[in-house]
A and B are shown apart, each in its own frame.
Chain A
Amino acid sequence: MKLRFAAAFAVVVLLGASAFAHRLDEYLQATILSVEKDHVEGSMRLIPGVAVSSMVIGSIDTNADGIISETEGQAYARRVISELSLIIDGNPSKPRIVSIAFPTVAEMREGVGEIHFEFVADLPAGGSERKLVFENHHQERIAAYLVNCLVPRDKGIQVVAQKRNENQSFYELDYQVSGADSPTLSHHWWPNLLRSTGAVGFGSIFRLGMRHIAEGTDHLLFLLALLLPAPLLVIGWRWGGFAGTRHAVLQILKVVTAFTVGHSLTLALAAWGWVHVPSRPIEVLIAISILVSAVHALRPLFPGREAAVAGFFGLIHGLAFAATLGQLGLGRWERLGSILAFNLGIETMQLIVVGAIMPSLLLMSSTRAYPSLRVSGGLFAGFAALGWIVERLLGVSNTIDAVVETIARHAVWIAAVLFLMSIVCWLLRKDGVAEFTADPLD
């Protein structure tokens, strides 16, 4: 085939003024880290652009003789290393230079010279979950940083997450070291299932599940709003008094179990790839589910069918859990164990929360204070749900989310205060049923 060059050019060149072919006004600094169990290796390439090369050369070739001597090279390497910071699990580790290579000054002037440094830093023994923070502040004003890590050679090291700031001067590597036992990994009668979580590890997915519920305020709010009226009797279209401990406990167990069955089912289906639902409608539906259970806390919408409703909305919440699991990017065979680990994490955290709140609800629901608690709780959940619906449906951000998150951050204290209050109310209570019909909404 003949090239078309011979033809006379009828050319419109859409090109900027500059036609240089190399880096211009940046100092490219690319670092690749390689993590081993007891040390980390770093490989740095430093490439000054043409416009900044004389300044960089000036800081290396300090006697300005046009040659980078060994002493000058070493001094510059020490300076670069001193402007790095390497912190493992919160403790600084000092990088040692193991090799230095400089291009010629002429190559650097052209913007094509690459300086190479290799360093190594010791990592003291640590737990199964480790956090390595690498920062580079060398020539930050003109720098273009790149930081990456190699897939660890050691199969016992698995990268969990990488975080960077915008210009990559800050880099955090979260990784997991297997072989260092964590309590959840020691159940030897589950070895295959545990291994099937593959790259991420059973323990970390279990904790992810727990965190998802602990931090997933929307899931908790749905469940709590649904539990608020659980200990109560229904009188017509209103909530009545305490229905008895046996009824209350059974009711709470039924709601929690139904929610669990619902979200486990869809979590498994979605995580296995059998259903795929876009996340936005799911998030909206979750907010709606909170609104429904909030309204139910104010006025019985579906008395006696709380378990069915919890189960139905559980199906929707499960799809959202699956999205979280999907973010881990696990392969098909890693999933079975992951679903189990993640779900166990969710259930555990859910039990902790229900266990922490249930005594307060039971104690307080037989007192006069309960209607106020139920109504204020229901209103709070309702407003939060409305805020989320607006935000998730219309993309209009509002302060609701921030307010709820702030409150949720103090959840432990709120639960403790609630428990103390419920004890006080219970001690001050007057026996008799007639008083309990006092509903703040009337």
Chain B
Amino acid sequence: MNPFWMRTAGAVCALALVCSWFTVGGHTSTATSRVVSAANTFLSTLDEKQRQGVMFPFNDDKQRANWSNLPVTMVPRGGLSLKELNSSQRAAAMAVVAAALSPKGYEKVQEIVEGDELLKASSGNNPMFGKDLYYISFVGKPSENDPWMLQFGGHHLALNVTIAGDQGILTPTLDGAQPALYTINGKTVRPLGQESDKALALLNALDESQRKQAILSYQLADLVLGPGQDGKTIQPEGLKAAAMNDRERAMLLDVISEWANIAQESTAAARMGELKADINETWFAWSGPVTATPGHNITAYYRIQGPHVVIEYAPQKLGGDPSMHVHAMYRDPTNDYGRGVNKK
């Protein structure tokens, strides 16, 4: 073979290599395929009985709505608890959750779970709490094309991630914390600290007449659209972002991003684009004290409501200090459980 053909053949081979690398690499790098492959890996570590325990049919609406802020001893969840898994199964289960979330979102989940372990320790080893009592389940078969749902939750946590092709839908998701502030290995942790601080910063940025609209004149003891309240759209209240300036609107979007960005990055970016587009139709309402002890969470309730989002942050009196105990809800009235997507 003469040098010309040698070089041509070499170039063709190199090109083919690059192309195949892109094809294969592009394929394995989609967010959905990563979750699906993690889910299949997890399923492969289970025995037949466990596999049956973790899988639910896609049309099982009862399991779909089987989540709560309450401990699992009070509201039993479906699926497999981490307690029932050995260490490699457990690692595989957590890898599925990690694949569905952003690193920051996954860290938040860990902090909530760690907090519950502390609650257990501080309440005399109370068997209703602890890191073992978190459940994983699949509603529908993990698939890159057909819709299915990953659930992971327990006390103060309910992740409901619907995956439909390249779309990942995090709503409805509940997060919460008790204690909302703790120290572990010398590190101070506030699982929902940013949610609290950013909202308070927004409230402080408002002028007097905006605050008058944003601050509701009545008490709100709890979430209005918590567990079991699917499919309801209440009349929005408070201050509409159309009456905010650009900086305040950006701050509002930043509060929302604390929930939207729990999801894996590419789906979170799409979601943030959607929420940014209807920011002017988004409302901000506040009820309760307008100050907080520095370094602690707020003791006030707030709600953010737009055409495609409802966020509620509701401090709880239980435990004595509302800054230490919070329940929060993240919904999309048009697309909870991906219903808006799956209808098509």
Give the interface of A toward B (CB within 8 A).
1-5, 7, 9-24, 26, 28, 30, 32, 110, 112, 114, 144-146, 148-151, 159, 162, 164-168, 273, 276, 278-280, 323, 326-327, 329-332
Contact = CB atoms under 8 A, between A and B. Distances in A.
Contact of B319 (A16, A151, A329): A16
A14 B126 contact: no
B224 A276 contact: no
Interface stretch (B25-33, B49-57, B68-76, B143-151): B68-76
- Central interface residue in A10, A15, A28, A167, by most chain B CB within 10 Å: A15
Interface string B201-244: 00000011100010001111110100010001111110110110
Contacts of B183: 10-12, 14
B243 A326 contact: yes
Given A327-B243, A329-B243, A332-B280, A14 B234 contact: no
Contacts of B35: none
A150 B234 contact: yes
Contact of A148 (B95, B207, B228, B235): B235
A151 B218 contact: no
A326 to B, nearest CB: 5
B260 interface: no
A15 B119 contact: yes
9 pairs of A and B residues whose beta carbons are closest in the complex: A329-B240, A19-B123, A16-B320, A144-B221, A279-B209, A16-B319, A164-B218, A13-B122, A148-B234
6 contacts: A3-B94, A15-B178, A15-B319, A15-B324, A21-B70, A278-B209
B17 interface: no
A144 B71 CA distance: 22
Contacts of B208: 278-280
Nearest to A17: B320
B114 to A, nearest CB: 7
Given A5-B114, A9-B121, A28 B184 contact: no
A110 B74 contact: yes
Contacts of B237: 162
Contacts of B199: none
Interface in B241-272: 242-243, 245
B220 A11 contact: no
Contact of A14 (B129, B131, B182): B182
B311 interface: no
Given A15-B179, A148-B234, A162-B235, A21 B128 contact: yes
Interface of B: 70-71, 74-75, 91, 94-95, 98, 106, 110, 113-114, 117-119, 121-123, 126, 128-129, 131, 155, 178-179, 181-186, 207-209, 213, 217-222, 224, 228, 232-237, 239-240, 242-243, 245, 280-281, 283, 317-321, 324
B215 to A, nearest CB: 13
Given A10-B185, A22-B318, A279-B209, A151 B221 contact: no
B154 to A, nearest CB: 11
A166 B219 contact: yes
Contacts of B242: 273, 326, 329-332
Given A3-B110, A15-B119, A21 B74 contact: yes
A276 B221 CA distance: 35
A65 B322 CA distance: 37
Given A10-B184, A151-B235, A21 B155 contact: yes
B131 A148 contact: no
Contacts of A149: 234-235
B232 A150 contact: yes
Given A1-B106, A164-B217, 4 more contacts: A9-B118, A14-B183, A30-B222, A279-B207
Contacts of A15: 118-119, 122, 178-179, 182, 319, 324
A165 B281 CA distance: 26
Contacts of B178: 15, 21
Contacts of A112: 70, 74-75
B296 to A, nearest CB: 9
Contacts of A330: 242
B226 to A, nearest CB: 9
Contacts of B321: 16
Contact of B181 (A9, A10, A14, A167): A14
B111 to A, nearest CB: 9
Residue from A4, A10, A159 whose CB has the most chain B CB atoms within 10 Å: A4
B109 to A, nearest CB: 10
B318 A24 contact: yes
Contacts of A332: 242, 280
Nearest to B209: A279
* Residue of A11, A26, A150, A279 most packed against chain B (CB within 10 A): A11
A22 B235 contact: no
A280 B210 CA distance: 11
A323 B98 contact: no
A279 B114 CA distance: 46
A332 B122 CA distance: 53
Nearest to A24: B318
Contacts of B240: 329
A24 B181 CA distance: 21
A114 B185 CA distance: 40
Given A15-B324, A276-B245, A151 B234 contact: yes
A165 B243 CA distance: 25
Given A1-B98, A23-B318, A327-B243, A148 B218 contact: no
B68 to A, nearest CB: 9
A161 to B, nearest CB: 10
A123 B142 CA distance: 49
A166 B287 CA distance: 10
B121 A11 contact: yes
Nearest to A13: B122
B209 A323 contact: yes
A159 B237 CA distance: 11
Contacts of B207: 278-280
A21 B121 contact: no
Contact of B114 (A4, A165, A280, A323): A4
A15 B126 CA distance: 14
Nearest to B227: A114
B45 to A, nearest CB: 16
A15 to B, nearest CB: 5
B237 to A, nearest CB: 6
Contact of B233 (A151, A164, A166, A327): A151
B157 to A, nearest CB: 12
Contact of A13 (B70, B179, B243, B317): B179
Contacts of B184: 4, 9-11
